[in-house]
Amino acid sequence: MSAECYPISILPHLPQIFRDYTEMRTAPADAPVRRFYPCSPFDNCWKQGTTPALQPDRDVLVTALREQALRFGAGASTFANLDKLRDGARAVVTGQQVGLFGGPALTLLKAATAVRKAQVASEAGVPHVPVFWMATEDHDLDEVNQATLLGKSGLIKLRSQFPSHRAQPVGDMLLGEAIEPVLAEVEELLGFAPVTELLRASYTPQDTLSCSFGKFITAVFREHGLIVLDASSLKFHAMGAPVLRYAIEHADELHEALTEQGRALEAAGYSSQVLVTDENTLLFLIDENGSRVPLRRPAVGGGRTWQAAGRTYSTGDLLAILHESPERLSPNALLRPVFQDSILPTSAYVGGPAEIAYFAQCKPLYERILGAMTPVLPRLSATLVPPAIRTVMDRHELTLRDAMMSADGLAQRLAARAMPIEGKRRIAAAGNALDSELQDVQHWMTATDDGLGRSAAVAANKMRYQMNRLRRLAANWQLEREQFLRRHAEAVTRTLYPDHHPQERLLTGAQMMTWSTVDLASLLVNEAEQECPGHRVFDI
């Protein structure tokens, strides 16, 4: 199998703190990034876990998880891991929003990394199990109601219809009959591959979005014992109620700590991932209409009250709601990791770049509520190359760097390579001669007069532009003669860098399962050992 390792910086738009974090093992002792994380992601400090102030009741936890595992159709490996969890095993946790048809490929990469890290820790003598935390309480339906697949002529984004949606948690949304035509389109796009049977069995009209996602991800990692968790129910919120209570009773203290952490990040040259304003709190409330709305703390008179959707609540009101209906209160993005790690015996959380960036922001919440911050590990980052695309890449000697451009740009490059050797030599000779002569003239004119030198530089750049135009004219002529070069360029860029996005963030993992010649889940688990600390490229 062909495998390549690139520095993580090959990917665009990464938070600077994430880049620094992945390099923390070799960073100097006084590197700013060390202030925001308990240890390097490639050290072994996480395997022993922390001992948070709030410990889960394992019997209650495992009983609730078993009920969900039965609903999701889990196999024997998952129930064996649940027994281990009851007997004292720790957890490697990851999570993702409950996207349509399993969401983008990064979902599979996260789950595979959690499975592998749990295996590695267990092999070292500390029993661990992998847990996938489904983010079912988010209320942004547009963000999860989409699946991007690669069609014959380009990208296709599929959506379903949820006419009853207001602002309630997305996990509660019933798929209904509207999912049927979307499934039919997926089947056609995927060529009725075996994975479409799994999608049909998971995404039924009678299921909610969370249950469908849970059944799908459970089935994909069935042989690896992945435990899938939906924490939106009363049972899990009751387990995490101490964290929610602390967030209510110490709202001002936690807000000040987050504000100070934001200043510390800024002073270190980083930025906050989650905006913290004067009125922000760490909590959401399910109101009487079933909508999930943010709780705010505006200054009113001389005191501080809570407001949500035009209604005012006292601290006592919220504590009463927490006591009577804990499932009506939920954490925001910064509090969620702490809420999660009060329910689970977490040794490490596996996250993507943005998550790892905001873990630095929520460190003071961990320290105040649980007493210690959970280590966070980067997920496997990978571009998967199907056989047909590997054939094209080998033919033209292409790498991922070649694919990370526009199809037109790559087509031009392929055409330039395909030109007859005589043409290449003549164009190269002309370009080199022109550049050499222009440099000599510019130096002389600059030495004569600065203004004259500046004018010479402008004129020289125009001549170089025309030289590049000659190169493009020759390449375009070659493209006209060899149309397959453009088709090859389009196929490679569309598959490996679709719409100028890393493949893992856009294309569905379900489609990649149809590309793979082996069991993709097992392949990803094996690759998630992460000997390459950056971005992997490998064949499937």
- Chunked into runs of 10 residues, the chain (540 residues) has average pLDDT values of 82 94 88 91 77 83 97 97 96 95 96 96 93 89 90 92 75 91 95 94 95 97 97 93 96 95 95 87 90 85 77 94 94 95 94 94 95 94 95 92 92 77 72 83 88 88 83 68 82 95 96 93 90 88
Q: What is the pLDDT of residue 170?
A: 84
Three-point CA angle 90, 95, 98, nearest 5°: 140
507 beta partners: 148
Q: What is the pLDDT of residue 302?
A: 46
Contact 79, 66 (CB under 8 A): yes
Q: What is the pLDDT of residue 481?
A: 60
End-to-end CA distance of the chain: 8
d(C-alpha 228, C-alpha 532), whole Å: 27
Q: What is the pLDDT of residue 317?
A: 95
* Sequence ranges of the domains in the chain: 242-331, 385-501
Buried b (16+ CB within 10 A) or exposed e, 225-253: bbbbbbbbeebbbbbbbbbbbbbbeebee
Contact 471, 426 (CB under 8 A): no
d(C-alpha 481, C-alpha 474), whole Å: 11
Tokens of 213: 């996602």
d(C-alpha 235, C-alpha 102), whole Å: 25
pLDDT in tens, 449-471: 888 888 888 888 888 888 787 77
Other Cβ atoms within 10 Å of 288 Cβ, number: 9
Buried b (16+ CB within 10 A) or exposed e, 170-183: bbbbebbeebeebb
Other Cβ atoms within 10 Å of 280 Cβ, number: 19
Q: What is the pLDDT of residue 2?
A: 60
CA 145 vs CA 111, 161, 252: distances in Å: 20, 9, 35
DSSP 82-117: HHHHHTT-EEEEEEEE--GGG-BTHHHHHHHHHHHH
Q: What is the pLDDT of residue 45?
A: 80
d(C-alpha 18, C-alpha 33), whole Å: 9
**Nearest Cα residue to 516 out of 222, 194, 225, 212:** 194
